[in-house]
Structures are given as C-alpha cells and as structure tokens.
Structure 1
Amino acid sequence: MINLRVQEAKNVKVAQWSGGETREVFLAPDHGVYKVGQFDFRVSSATVELKESKFSALPGYERLIMSLDHCIRLVHEKEEEIEEIILQPFEAHHFSGDDQTTSYGQCTDFNLIYKPELKGFMKACNKAEQLTLESEVTVIYCLEDVDIQVIKNEELIKSYQLEKYSSLVLENPESHTRVEFDSQESFQPIVVCSMIQEK
C-alpha cells in the first residue's frame, strides 16, 4: 500500500555550505546522516551564491543536478579527462560523485545523490502535468504553492495543498497510480520530482 508523507517547508533542515545555503528535502534511511557511506540517497536544494564554487567530494555516489533559475557551467575533472557542460534551467544532469566538480555562475540548484546500486531520475513538471508513479520512492518538491492530487484507477486517493518549499514523499505506490499538479503559476515548472528505485 502506498505510503504518503508531507515535509512542511518550516521543518526543512537549512545549513550553510561553502557556496551558500542548502535545504535538505529528504534523506534515506530515516536514521541516516549526510556523510559518505552513511546514507542511501539524499534530495536537497541549494543556493550557489559565489561565481565559482567547488562541489563537495562524494566518492561512491551518483549525482543528479538541476538549476532552478539560471544557466551555469559545470567542469568535471575525471581520472582521464575533463568534461565541461552548460546546464540550462530545469535540465537534469548526471555525474559521478568521484569527479572533482566546479560550477561557474550563480543559481538555486536541486540535487539528488544516491548509491550506485540505486537508479535515480529527476524531472521538472508544469501546471496540469501528470506523473505516473513507477519508482519505489518519489519526492515531489514544490517551487510554488501547489495543489497535488494522488489518483489510482481514476479514483482520488488524497489531495494536498502544499506551500512553496514543502514536499510530498510517496513510497511503494501500487500500479495505475498517478499524481496531478495545479497552481496559480503557469509560466514555468511548479514542482521537481525525484524518483529512486533499485536497479
């Protein structure tokens, strides 16, 4: 049976990092801590306030990043090559936590960090868009005040009115379950969805 839980904006952990401020949206398992080897996956959002920022090293993890507002340039220093990309707003980019990564440009970003035995996905959704729940865990992070409906076999299971920076966590969904979003905002994505499942 599907498990639903809301993380209100006022309860989100906020901390400082070398380039700005970070909000921990979700961390698994519940008893885990944000240290290498002591968590399975983590969803977070951070402000990047410096024009040049070095990312924390996270060896043994995979990473997905998305800018929520401005273009940024990412440089990944790998063992045998250097990769450089321009990341457009609301575009998800995968890279290894083993890379030495530097970002150039200021933005607010969204991050999913996960162990390699898991598979991670990230998607920004607009008003009136639907998301079919196929992953074991889905974390929906609100970029605005959002109305969310959880529907199974065309029957409404639960509805939520969530404030900006709140999130809804959906675990172990049954088949034919989807989520619909609505908001007063319509010109840009209103939620970011992070999905995690075993490979």
Structure 2
Amino acid sequence: MKILTEADFRSSTWSGGTTTQLIISPEGASLEERNFDWRISTAVVKTEVSDFTVFHGYERILIPLKGKLEMEHRTPNGVIRQDVSEFELARFSGEWSTKGKGKITDFNIFFKPVYHPKLHISHFSGETEVVLPETTDMVFLESGSCTAGIRFIHAPALLLIEDSEKVQLACSKDSRIISIELDLVD
C-alpha cells in the first residue's frame, strides 16, 4: 500500500475557487492537456454561483463533503437540475455546461467512459476495525485518522492499494472514508 498525503497533492485555482489534485492516471498526465484516463481531486467552491469547467470525453462524479450544491446542467436534450446534499453522489457528463449554486467543499472523480467507478462512503462514530474488500483500489481518508498495520494515517490522505492486497484499517472515532473501485467497463 502506498499512502499519499498533503505533501503529495497539487493545488491550483479555477474560476470558482481552488482544486486539489489527489492523483491522476497515468502518472505524469495533465489536467490542462486532457491526456489523463482518470483524476481524483477535492475542490473548495468559494463563490455562491460558479461555472464548472467543461471536460469533453469525460464523465464526472461529485460528492459534497461540506455544504449543499444545486446544479443546472445544459444537455443536448434540455436542462437537468440536480440538488446534492452532503455525502450524496452526483454523476454527470463532463461535456455538459454546468452551473453550480452553493459554497461547498467537494470530492471529485473525472474519468473516461471506459471506467466504471464504484464509491462507498463510511462514517465511523466510534473506533472501528475495517477490512477492505479486495476489489478496493483506493481509499480517501476524508476526516479523522486510521492505522494500517504500524502506519498511522491522518486525514486528508489517499491510500493506494496493490492488486489483491488485504487491507485492514483501525479507524478512530469520527473518521470518514471514501472507498473507490475503478474498474474498466466490460
């Protein structure tokens, strides 16, 4: 298992606030050049109304970590409105012109449609031992702390899991994780 922490993340600004890239694949790919297969990031939206950047050829999953977001997507078939509360998942096309309303902190996955991501959010109100399914590719420790073997991990952190690696986490009270599977579409 490899653990990425804030020292490994890359932050930048966009029209509505800041974004922090947790990981991009393949390594060395660039968001600006749109030559990536998938990208995981967080963002802080500092304006009440913001225009999302268009990502042709990509799908998006967004989860508000703090705050509520109202989205208006302009699609080829008309307008779609989507209200998303904290820790709810919104999936939409990166090609749509999307306007957001709400100051939030969010978690994002951008991916080419050849991927089929699965996410699971877990909040631990007390100290909890968790054995991750072998299909788990990554875990984002959003809040709190966990121990994996002898490694102490404090949020925010991204745990990259090796193929078929059995991972057991001991999570502290009030920890929250997002487990991620990034499978190719069959």
Given the two structures, how large is their TM-score scaled by the length of structure 2? 0.88
Aligned to 1:146: 145
Structure 1 residue 74: Cα displacement: 0.9
Hey, what's the Cα distance between the residues in 1 that align with 2:132 and 2:85? 22
Confirm or deny: 8 A CA contact 1:87 1:93 kept in the other structure. yes
Deviates more, 1:51-60 or 1:11-20: 11-20
The corresponding residue for 1:101 is 98
Give the letter for the 2:158 counterpart. S
What's 1:190 paired with? 176
Say yes or no: does 1:132 pair with 2:129.
no
Question: Any conservation in 1 of the 2:8–2:22 contact (CA below 8 Å)?
Answer: no
Shift of 1:133: 3.0
Structure 2: which amino acid aligns with 1:15?
S
Q: What per-residue deviation string (whole Å, max 9, x for no partner) do you get for residues 39-89 of structure 1?
A: 010000000111001111101011100000111101111001111011011
Whether the aligned pair in 2 keeps the contact of 1:142 and 1:191 (CA below 8 Å) is yes
TM alignment of 1:165-184, pairs within 5 A: 165-173=156-164, 177-184=166-173
Q: Secondary structure at the match of 2:7?
A: helix
Residues 1:23 and 2:20 are matched in the alignment: yes
Q: Residues 181, 27 of structure 1: CA spacing in aligned structure 2 closer, same or farther, 3 A cutoff? A: farther
Where structure 2 has 5 or more consecutive residues not aligned to the other structure, the ranges are none
Say what the alpha-carbon RMSD is for the aligned residues: 1.8
Aligned residues: 181
**In structure 2, distance between residues paired with 1:148 and 1:124:** 18
Deviations 1:106-132 (A, max 9, x none): 110000011111111222212235541
Q: Name structure 1 gaps, 5 residues minimum.
A: 150-157
Deviation, structure 1 residue 148:
4.0
SS at match of 1:30: coil
- TM alignment of 1:1-199, pairs within 5 A: 4-35=1-32, 37-127=34-124, 128=128, 130-135=131-136, 138-149=137-148, 158-173=149-164, 177-185=166-174, 190-199=176-185
1:154 aligned partner: none
Task: Provide the C-alpha distance between the structure 2 equivalents of 1:198 and 1:48, rounded to a whole number of angstroms.
Answer: 30
CA 1:143 to 1:31, structure 2 compared with 1: closer, same or farther past 3 Å?
same
SS state at 1:10 partner: coil
TM-score, normalising length from structure 1? 0.83
Q: 1:114 to 1:159 in 2, by over 3 A?
A: farther
1:120 and 1:143 map into 2 onto residues whose CA distance is 18
